[in-house]
Amino acid sequence: MSAPTRTVRDATFDVLRRHGLTTIFANPGSTEVAFLTDLPDDVDFVLALHEGSVVGIATGWATAMDRPALVNLHTTAGLGNAVGALATARVNRVPLVVIVGQQDRRHLALQPFLAGDLEGLAGRYPVWVTTPARPQDVPGAVARAWHEARDGRGPALVIVPSDDWAAPADDTPVPAPVVLHRASAVEPAAVDALAGLLVGAVSPALVVGADADDPATWAALVALAERLQCPVWQESFAARAGFPQDHPQFAGHLPAGRGRLRQALAGHDVVLVVGAPVFRQYPFEPGPLVEDGTTVALVTDDVEDAHHSPVDLAVVAGPAPVCRLLAERVPQRPPATTRSERPAPPLPPQEGEPLRAAHVMAALAERLRPETVVVEETPSSRPDLHRLLPARRPLGFLSAAMGGLGFAMPAAIGVRMARPDGPVVAVVGDGSSLYGIQSLWSAAHYGCGVLFVVLANGRYAVMDRLAEQHGGGKAPWPAFEEVSVHGLALALGCPARRVDTYDDLVEALDAVVPTLADRREPLLLEVAVTPELTFQP
């Protein structure tokens, strides 16, 4: 009796094992049935009920694991539904290997039902896209996608027709799972130039970004900041924190308008930006980014940031080794005469005073352990979160750098899946929650003990404030106070409750926060808060 024919599917699973891609995040469709049914025992399947949640969970998982995650999407509909989440993964610089199903190769020329024009559907957000020329090229394409996703730090797509999986495999070599040598040396001349700027500066400042969010870079930046005795700012709209935000030299988050940005950096003759673009803005304002006489230098390991940042000097290298060398080179400065002071948290609301987002952030700050991962998606309350809930450990803060909604809920689930014994809290606006509400089913089904704190004001408060600032009259969109987020959570199998008073909030947090490291059941708290009267990005 002859041995069973080895298929493309068999060969692909071998490639997935070699690259550590043994968890599939997916919402299945008919063009993926041949790939997904009867999975090997060593391959796990994670279901989410919408493709945005699929990619969001995988993004959180890959972020926490610091390696690529495997996503499977269903032809045009699945990829189309996921484009926004893929854009977030790209801007957050998170590696994803994405296998996209396609109709049977044998009649694609006839454009059958479910056939898709897939290669351009996600635009330029994927770092790499391919449709293998032959079924036998699928395993090699998946292996290359792992390399492309890791090195390009974004989603890499492989489009696979449904009949390819059953085709006989051949012995075509595939890329190795490990690159044995990658250049890590820092160019001495670059360090000399940066050190010269800092040594000669009268009043230097540091700006840090998401690409500085790892223990080695934090340690190097703390050493450099303490040598320079300078303020350290966080880039605006960062996906992650680049410096311990409870450090005395942490100055806060840079504003996203040019006028206030110039004011924040006024008086600094040298600004060194580490792991961030220069400088992310939100509303357009005329004028320069910094005042005349301010030299801006950039250290980044992202070539794209180096190309589009208007700086006097850009060094493309690992932030940690560069900052470590700079800390050794610059002389110790005397202690600063002034230090950045954290604003005092608000007092608990008095009887009859409405509950505000700031009260919720302060209550969380009093209770959360330093190692808690806080995943944020609350646009109108983000300044309060930044002000009152500092990131105290690497990966202490996670957000969507792209700005699109629907990230926080699924990303928090993915982080918790990757770190099953680490506390994870998602702080989400009620409007934002509705873009990823289906992910709560996955949290409940897979036992992810995330605390979801939904700030419910029954409207798109940030849009209301922006409309008022624009001066164009009354906004046409209505409030949606009828929506019960905790009711939707319960319908999806996720434990939830409504919180209407400060006393109820404190009672709920005191009960759940001590359990966050060990709990295997999610909890959603829908906290009724009054809409904020002002918003300043």
How many residues would you count in the chain? 537
- Pairwise CA distance, residues 491 & 485, whole Å: 10
Element (H, E) at 139: helix 138-152
Domain boundary among 285, 312, 329: 329
Question: Residues 117, 252: one domain?
Answer: no
Q: Which domain holds residue 504?
A: 357-528
Which residues lie below 8 Å from residue 109, measured CB to CB, with a gap of 6+? Answer: none
Q: What is the pLDDT of residues 307-323, one digit of tens each?
A: 888 888 989 999 999 99
Which residues lie below 8 Å from residue 184, measured CB to CB, with a gap of 6+? Answer: 318, 321
Question: Residues 126, 203: one domain?
Answer: no
Question: Residues 151, 293: one domain?
Answer: no
Domain presence at residue 173: no
Question: Residues 38, 115: one domain?
Answer: yes
Domain presence at residue 535: no
Q: Tens-of-pLDDT digits for all 537 residues of the chain?
A: 456 789 999 999 999 999 999 999 999 999 999 999 999 999 999 999 999 999 999 999 999 999 999 999 999 999 999 999 999 999 999 999 999 999 999 998 888 888 889 999 999 999 999 999 999 999 999 999 999 999 999 999 999 999 999 999 987 666 655 544 444 568 888 899 999 999 999 999 999 999 999 999 999 999 999 999 999 999 998 999 999 999 999 999 999 889 899 999 999 999 999 999 888 888 788 888 888 999 999 999 988 888 888 888 989 999 999 999 999 999 999 987 666 677 788 889 888 889 999 999 999 999 999 999 999 999 888 989 999 999 999 999 999 998 889 999 999 999 999 999 999 999 999 999 999 999 999 999 999 999 999 999 887 777 776 767 666 667 787 877 899 999 999 999 999 999 999 999 999 999 999 999 999 999 999 999 988 755 566
Question: Residues 370, 440: one domain?
Answer: yes
Please count the structural domains in the chain.
3
Question: Residues 159, 204: one domain?
Answer: no
CB 494 within 8 A of CB 421: no
Element (H, E) at 502: helix 502-512
Instruction: Please report where in the chains the tokens 């919408």 appear, as a residue.
Output: 50
- Quote the pLDDT of residue 470: 67
Describe the strand order of the beta sheet including 23-26 as a list of residue ranges: 44-47, 23-26, 69-73, 96-102, 155-161, 128-130
The residue type of 64 is A
Instruction: Please report where in the chains the tokens 């694991």 appear, as a residue.
Output: 65
Domain presence at residue 78: yes
- Pairwise CA distance, residues 237 & 402, whole Å: 8
Identify the CATH number of the domain in which residue 201 sits.
3.40.50.1220
Nearest to 139, CA basis, from 174, 101, 114: 174
Nearest to 120, CA basis, from 79, 77, 69: 79
Q: How far apart are the first and last CA of the chain?
A: 70
**Which of the 8 DSSP states describes residue 7?**
B
- Quote the pLDDT of residue 4: 72
Total H helices, total E strands in the chain: 18, 18
Domain presence at residue 370: yes
Alpha helices for 204-318 (secondary structure H): 215-228, 258-265, 303-308
- Pairwise CA distance, residues 420 & 253, whole Å: 30
CB 472 within 8 A of CB 500: no
C-alpha angle 120-61-362 in degrees, rounded to nearest 5: 115
- Pairwise CA distance, residues 483 & 292, whole Å: 51
Q: Which residues pair with 23 in a beta bridge?
A: 44
- Quote the pLDDT of residue 247: 95
Domain presence at residue 171: no
Question: Residues 377, 408: one domain?
Answer: yes
Identify the three-state secondary structure at position 443. Answer: helix
- Quote the pLDDT of residue 184: 56
What are the tokens at 325?
A: 């060398």
- Pairwise CA distance, residues 361 & 374, whole Å: 11
CB 279 within 8 A of CB 289: yes
Domain presence at residue 500: yes
Identify the CATH number of the domain in which residue 429 sits.
3.40.50.970
DSSP string covering 345-360, please?
PPPPPPTTPPP-HHHH
Question: Residues 93, 50: one domain?
Answer: yes
Q: What is the pLDDT of residues 59-98, one digit of tens each?
A: 999 999 999 999 999 999 999 999 999 999 999 999 999 9
- Quote the pLDDT of residue 180: 40
- Quote the pLDDT of residue 507: 97
Domain presence at residue 348: no
Question: Residues 81, 31: one domain?
Answer: yes
Domain presence at residue 337: no
CB 56 within 8 A of CB 436: yes
The number of beta carbons lying within 10 Å of the beta carbon of residue 513 is 19
pTM here?
0.93
Question: Residues 373, 295: one domain?
Answer: no
Domain boundary among 112, 136, 166: 166
Question: Residues 155, 193: one domain?
Answer: no
Domain boundary among 286, 311, 329: 329
Instruction: Compute the CA torsion angle 345, 351, 354, 357 (nearest 10 deg).
Output: 30
- Quote the pLDDT of residue 306: 85
Question: Residues 317, 370: one domain?
Answer: no
